[in-house]
Amino acid sequence: MKNVNLNALRVFSVVATHGNLQRAAEELNLSRGAVSQRIKQLEIELGVVLLVRGARGVSLTPEGERCHAAMEDALAILDTAFVSIGEDSDRVTPRK
């Protein structure tokens, strides 16, 4: 498994959702440059180009589409797990 920065994946997911680096930067409270840098680093770590930058925003490459779909699937699994953990914690007395 590759050692991929999870924060960079989160940034990529927001960019992919918005299709725009500036809007993603505003949502993440980052500069546009910081967002672009994190995406570029992720692309280097994965060894693929994820986004095509254009005058009207960004579009996903086929690899970017697969990465975004995988991120959505992974987040759905995590959401389900966290709900289950929360339900279990209601039945457990915390340790002191």
Q: What pLDDT, in 10s, does the model give residues 28-85?
A: 999 999 999 999 999 999 999 999 988 888 999 999 999 999 988 988 898 898 888 8
pLDDT surpasses 90 at 86: no
pLDDT at 64: 96
What Cα–Cα distance (Å) separates residue 20 from each residue in 23, 67, 70? 6, 17, 20
- Any domain includes 55: yes
Nearest to 15, CA basis, from 42, 46, 44, 36: 36
CA distance 9 to 42: 7
- Any domain includes 1: no
- Any domain includes 85: yes
- Any domain includes 94: no
Q: State the total domains in the chain.
A: 1
pLDDT surpasses 90 at 5: no
- Any domain includes 32: yes
- Any domain includes 10: yes
For residue 90, give both structure tokens. 């209601």
The domain in which residue 79 lies consists of 6-89
